[in-house]
Each structure stands twice: as structure tokens, then as C-alpha cells.
Structure 1
């Protein structure tokens, strides 16, 4: 609790939005580096360089001051330095009023260094004036002939226009900050669009959304779209399942109701009536089992695990053969020990549904397996009538029966869920189910493509 109290003020200062936090992360280091570089430049320029330049000029002034100090009067002093003040670019004024103290502007940081260095080099220095003419340095010195003044260009003791580098740094920083702001806004726009799409979907509204932006944002957007599609498909399938249950169970329930109403205590039912009612009950039980399998497969709760692909498929075909189904494994390419990551129970159920559909609507079925470096292809082909090409997408929808094409009838007990379950299992494994016309047997060919 103490740590939360200590850090509470810091959390209040940090921006709450992602744009503000991203800007803080981007701009704070830039500002810090600019300040550090600026301070280091000021330290080096206004102290090191200025002190060196001032020391050089001070030695020239000391040479002039030594000659003036040796002269008995003002005329002799002017004559003693007449040959050197010109070449040294110094201006001698003699006599001058005695100055009281040093003068400089409060913002003149280099002036402080200039005054310190001049006083260290010139023992007879009385005052330094950096205010009267900001372009010149005026010195007042003592001599036996009376106080005199020496002035020289300010550029001799401090670099000319030192503020230009600072102005350039500030301008460059502002320019780069503007460019970074535009770039940052463009990068955050896809995140805001993703957040808006997720928020609207949470409210029950679907807004158009297309993944864009950086690869990480695009991946998150693609995952959101896939999740939204799965939820929408699950909701649609749940609705269709409820309507399918009510529709498919109505017919056998009606027959059972009629059969029960015709029963009489005086006349027991004959064997044919009992067989018909048992058939209706078996059909209802099969439908309910199919509905439960479909709902269980839609949940897909079990974690995937590593499975040896070809032995797993061979075991499924062997179990189907023991159950009396006319199915053979005609092609199996890949190593026996090659592993895939899958949910064995749901994948087995999907393949059993495909094999069951194949032998139900044809006389035999063939299974092929091709294990590539990046994917596993499992194909189940039958010799039945097949499905018209324009109705292949419709056949994958749950509770869809294509009676003329696939020969479904009540005796076969289909619930229209086999292909839908297989498609959902393939999607849950990151793959897909594709239906085509078989080239070998001429019937339906169902292919499940799974990534490795």
C-alpha cells in the first residue's frame, strides 16, 4: 500500500492515452539529450574556449600595461605604446575617469568568465565594462601617470554568434519533433481503428475494419477479425442448431405421437409398429448425438498436442475397416515419425465424419495423405453422385441436406452436420476444408489442409 501511495503522483502525471504515452517515450529522450548536449556545449564554449581566448588577449594587454607602468607621465606612456597598440588592435584612452566596478548584463554568461580571466592576468585592472558598447570590452587600469583605458573587440575574447548553434539545435529539434508527431499519428491510427472496431463489437455492432499499420498491429487486427468471424459463425451455428433440432425432431416425434395415439389396451401393437417406433427413437438418438458432437466440436476446449501424422491416420482407417466400412488408404507420403500439432479427438471425429459420409453416399472410399514440409493434406474421395459445383459452399453449412445430389433419406439418418464439423475442425487447426469433384472415383473429394 505504501508503494502505491508513493507512486500515485507519478501515475497521475503519466498520460493515460496511448498517443500521449508514445509521445512521452519518443520526445522525452530527445529533449533530455538536447539539454545535456546544450549544457555540455555551454560548459565547453563559454568557459573553456572563452577562457583561452581571454588569456591570450590579456597577455597582449599586459604587454601594453607594462610599458605604460614604466613611463613617468601620460605623454611618455602614449609614446611608449604607440608602435604596438595598432598591430595588437587595441585602443588606448588616456586619461579616463576612474571606474567604480565591473559591469555586465545578467544574461552574459561568457562575460563572467572574461572578467575572471582578465583579473587573474592583469593585477592593475580596476574595472571591466561589458555594457557600454556590447561589441567592445573596455578596461580601466591604474598607472603612475593616472588611470587609463584600453578597449578591444569583444570577438577577441568570445566566439562570434555562439547562439547560432543553439538556434540551429532548437530549430532542428522542433522540425524533427513535428515529423515524428506526424509519423507517430499515422502509426497510432490503425491501433485506434482496431480499438474502435473492438469497442463497437462489444456493443453488438459490426463496423467495417481492415487490418493495416505495422506488422504487429496488422497481426493483432487479423487476429481480431478472425476472432470476430469465429464468434459470428458460432452464433449463427448455434441459432441454426436450435432451429435444426426443432425441425429435424418434429417429424419422428409426430410419427411417435401418431403411433402412440393408435395404441389400444385391447389390441397390443404388432411387431411392425414396434419396429417403426424403435426406428424413430434410434433416429432421434442419432440426431441428438450429432447435435451434441457439433456443439462439442464448436467448443474446441482441449489443448493441441504433438501427434505422429501418418500412424494417426492409419489407425483411423483401420478402425473404419473393422467397423465394416469400405475404405482404404491408397497413398501415404511422409515419414512415419513426422509430428503435427493437433487436437487428436476432434481431428479424428472430423475424419470419421468424412469417411462415414463417403461410404454412406457411395460404395467405397479412398483416403490419401501427403505430408509436406509445411502442411498436411488429407483427402477422402468416394464414388458417389457427388455435389454440384455451385452447391459446394452450401454443403459445408450446418444442417444442410442436398438430397438430390447426395441421396440422403430418412433411413440414412443424416443430420447435415458431417461436413460442417469437419470444416470447423479444420479452421480450429488453422487449416481449411475444400470440396471438389474426385478425379479417380468420380464422386466427392473432401480435402483437409492443415499447417504443420
Structure 2
């Protein structure tokens, strides 16, 4: 029978194959622009209407209030200048004009001078653009018909207006404060300031809501890697608490099911040892013959199978992960295999500490090296960090495994045909135990063709 894990692996492999055949799906431009995290998307939902409201409010204020205020101030200034021009043209004596200029400075806050005998250039233009230039230019055109030039850029705190009169150029200096309304900047500062405060409050509360979801994801990832999840409890919003409670119940059911399976398999395997031992004792009292030797061979094979069942059961035992120097552990396994006569080339990088079930991991590497040594004459092992995982590669120069049979070898008790030398093979649990150990640590074990034509086993354990 095919287990649920095998069905899940086959389904996942089928989905990956289909995805590779169809090619990587390119995300749309909209999906590339929007944030990927829940916190960012939540803040986007909150901030987008706020920013839109501010933009609309600012535009309406700028287009209406600021436009109207600037227009009124420009019209007032144009009226004052028109009065001064009228008084200057009424009496051309220097004494009278000096009195008009003093009156304009004292009562109208205008600094007025007259440069007699001068004329504005024919191509003179008002430097600068903007609403102030437009409104002031329009107001001056409405008040008098003399040529004029507005300069709002040369002076930092004043605006200069030159008006061409019949006997000279009338230069008027006026403070920018007469044409400027501070309510615009006050409005914008209040609006931006309150928005920043509200945005900070929104970030604080949204982070409080997202944190329980992140803890749930971390707990699920740790459990998937075979690490014990301690101190995790449901918290946050009601929906997040429900998801956390469901995760805790699922974890309990999985652990109980694994424990029951392990105890059952271990008990059955242990109970088989008693009759096997009894049979061996009875055969030892018989006279040597061909039939007796065949029975002894069968009993030996059954003992090997029982040991395989027990090893399989121990692979799903209750051993707890501990910080382990994986390169040191791998070197110890290779050294043990060499003492047994194996020829192995080992290349490792600097040591990396991972939370591992040491005995289970040792059994995994031992099975992989024994499998490679059984079918090949030369074995090469390489280990090092690749991206966010530790990758161990085991190559042999044996006959290899056909691509179509690589999924089958992970099935419990499955053995290949004579191309893998069945007579020297085990009971079909070596790769199964190795894959279960790797999966219990959240890793991945896959098979490929070695450069020398044999089998390549790639183990990836996440950091």
C-alpha cells in the first residue's frame, strides 16, 4: 500500500513537473508592484485612502483657497499702486511727488521711487512663473494701462514692480508678506503632522496584529523541521487564535500517530526475535544437511529484516534535536566506514552547527554511505553551505538507478532488480530511513545521476 506521505510526494513531484513543463509564470505588473507581506499590505490599505484624501484636500485648498487669497491680495496691491500712480501724474512737482512717496511708504508700506527719463526695454519680461505672477499680472492690467514688469525672484523678501510712466519708470518695492498667506503652510503642516502621527499609531497596532501570525508561521516551520515547539500559545485576534489552536491540535495528532506507529512496529519486530531465537537453537541440534543450512540462511535473512524494521522504527523515535556540528558528525561517519574497508573521498567546508537528532542523522549518513559502497568501488562525499542550507552530496561509480525508478526506491521494503545486485542488498529500508530522517529535519533528499555514471544522492538541511 502507498502511504499518505508517498502520495503527497508524488503529487508534489507531479505539480513541479507540470510547472517546469509550463514554464515559470510571470507575475503581472500589478502583482510586482504591491507589497508581499501582510503588514505592508495592511498598511497600504490604511495609507492609500489617507494619502488620496490628503492629495484631494490639498489640491482643492490650493486651487480654491490659495488661489482666491492670492487674487485678493494682488488686487489690493494693484489698487494701492494705481492710487500712487494717479497722485504722481496729478502733480509733477518734485516736492509733491516726494510727499506722495512718503505717504505711500508710511500708510501703504510701499517703497516708491521715480527714475526720470528712463524707459523699460521693449523686450522686458517678468521673470518667474507661478500663481503669484499670474494673479499680480492680471490685477495690474485691470487697474492701469501702463506697461510694467514684475520681478518676484531677484529679491528674497521683496517683490519689485517697474511701471513705465510718461516721464520715467516708477519702481515699487513691496514686502512679500503682503502677497503671501501663511494659512496655506499651516494647513499643510497640520495635515501632514497629524497624518504622520496616525500612520505611526496604525503601524504600532498593525504590527501587534501581525506578530501572532508570524509566530504561528515560525512554530509551523519549526515543527516541520522536526524541532520541538516550546512556549507557543494562541494569541492575537480571534481568527489567529483559532488557527493557532488548530495547529496545536494537529501537532498533537501527528505526534500521537507517529508514536503509535513507532511503538507498533518496534513491538512487532521485538516479538519476532523470540521465535527466531528458538528456531536457531533447534536447528543447532540437528545434523548438518542441505535443508538445515537453507533454514539457517532463511532465519539469518529474517533477522536482518527484523533489524531493519527496528532501525526504521528508531528513525521515528523520540530523540530530541541538539546543537550538532554537522561536518564533524559527517567526518566521524566517513571514518567509521573507512575502517570497515570503504574507499571514500571527503571534502567538507568549515563546521556549521545545526539542531539535529544526532543518532538519527548518523544512521542516515551511514545508510547512504553503505548504499554507495555496496554498489560502487569509489565513493565521493562533498558537504558545504549552499544559500540557506547545508548540502551533502554522495556520489558513487556504480550502475546507478534509472530515472523512472528513483521514486520507487524510497518506498519501504522496495528492492530493485539485478541491476543493483540484489544478492548483496538489504531489506529495502536504507533510503527510506534516510529520507525520513532528512524530512523530519525539514530537509530534502533527492537522487540524480553522478558525473561518473553512478548514483548521486543530494541531501539539503535548512539552516
Radius of gyration: which is bigger?
A: 1
Instruction: Give the TM-score of the pair, scaled to structure 2.
Output: 0.46
Instruction: Give the TM-score of the pair, scaled to structure 1.
Output: 0.47
